[in-house]
């Protein structure tokens, strides 16, 4: 009994949905497939076949009281049923074997395609990594250029023209603020004569010469 399989989903009795039913056309189906057999048998196309569970068959003891011809007829039907079931099993086996042969013949092409796809994946991965490094390098370069431009702009920023502060921190002197207007109004202490020599400017007020009454210049003591 455990050797029987469902004639639709091909699941053995010991693994399928019980109870298994047998139709009046001689085919066996699990409980799940029986619901689809109520209209038509998928094996022989019998319309609306009647069926009963296998467990509800007549007890084996009643066969002792059956006529011999009926027993022979039952044995003949049992042999036909087993033969039909074996045909279905062999047909399923040949279908699986044919699918296996097709998959086996297609396997080299599948492996070849997989190898090509794997090489493309590796190449794309390497190109992506190179592009990422190049992009990172460009970002760092742009960042450095922006920093340099910012420093340059700060160095060349316009200063206050009214005053200039001179820091003498290196010599320890205090910082001194000098008004730029003082430089513009200051009188130079020296001037260039006709011969090209630098001589003290009398207008500066700090000349090294003093003027006497005779309009002659003499050195100051």
- Please name each of the domains of the chain with its CATH number: 1-57 (3.30.40.10)
CA 16 to chain centre: 43
pLDDT per position as a tens digit, 195-212: 666 666 666 554 444 444
CA distance 58 to 54: 9
pLDDT for the residue numbered 204: 59
Encode pLDDT of 135-193 as tens digits. 999 998 888 888 877 777 777 766 554 444 444 344 443 344 444 444 445 566 666 66
Where do the DSSP E strands lie in 58-196?
163-166, 176-179, 190-192
Residue 75 class from Cβ within 10 Å (0-12 exposed, 13-18 middle, 19+ buried)?
exposed
Average pLDDT of the residues in 75-102:
91
Let me know the angle formed at the C-alpha of 44 by 100 and 41, rounded to the nearest 5 degrees: 95
Structure tokens belonging to residue 97? 């074997």
Give me 162's structure tokens: 């009214």
> If DSSP codes are grouped into helix, strand and coil, which group holds residue 29?
strand
The DSSP bridge partners found for residue 199 are 191
Residue 84's Cβ-count burial label (10 Å; 0-12, 13-18, 19+) is: middle
At 148 the pLDDT is: 79
| DSSP-derived 3-state class of residue 38 | coil
């Amino acid at each position: 009994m455990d050797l029987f399989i469902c004639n639709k989903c091909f699941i053995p009795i010991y693994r399928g949905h019980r109870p298994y039913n047998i139709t009046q056309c001689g085919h066996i189906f699990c409980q799940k497939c029986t619901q689809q057999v109520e209209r038509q048998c998928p094996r022989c196309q019998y319309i609306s076949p009647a069926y009963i569970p296998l467990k509800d068959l007549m007890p084996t003891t009643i066969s002792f009281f059956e006529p011999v011809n009926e027993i022979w007829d039952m044995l003949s039907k049992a042999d036909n049923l087993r033969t039909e079931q074996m045909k279905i099993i062999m047909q399923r086996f040949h279908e699986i074997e044919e699918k296996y042969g097709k998959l086996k013949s297609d396997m080299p092409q599948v492996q070849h395609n997989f190898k090509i796809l794997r090489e493309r994946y590796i190449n794309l991965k390497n190109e992506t990594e190179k592009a990422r490094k190049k992009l990172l390098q460009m970002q760092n370069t742009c960042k450095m250029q922006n920093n340099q431009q910012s420093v340059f702009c700060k160095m060349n920023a316009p200063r206050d023209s009214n005053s200039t502060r001179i820091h003498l921190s290196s010599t320890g002197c205090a910082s001194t603020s000098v008004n730029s207007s003082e430089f513009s109004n200051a009188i130079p202490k020296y001037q260039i004569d006709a011969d090209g020599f630098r001589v003290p400017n009398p207008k500066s007020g700090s000349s090294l010469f003093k003027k006497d009454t005779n309009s002659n210049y003499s050195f100051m003591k």
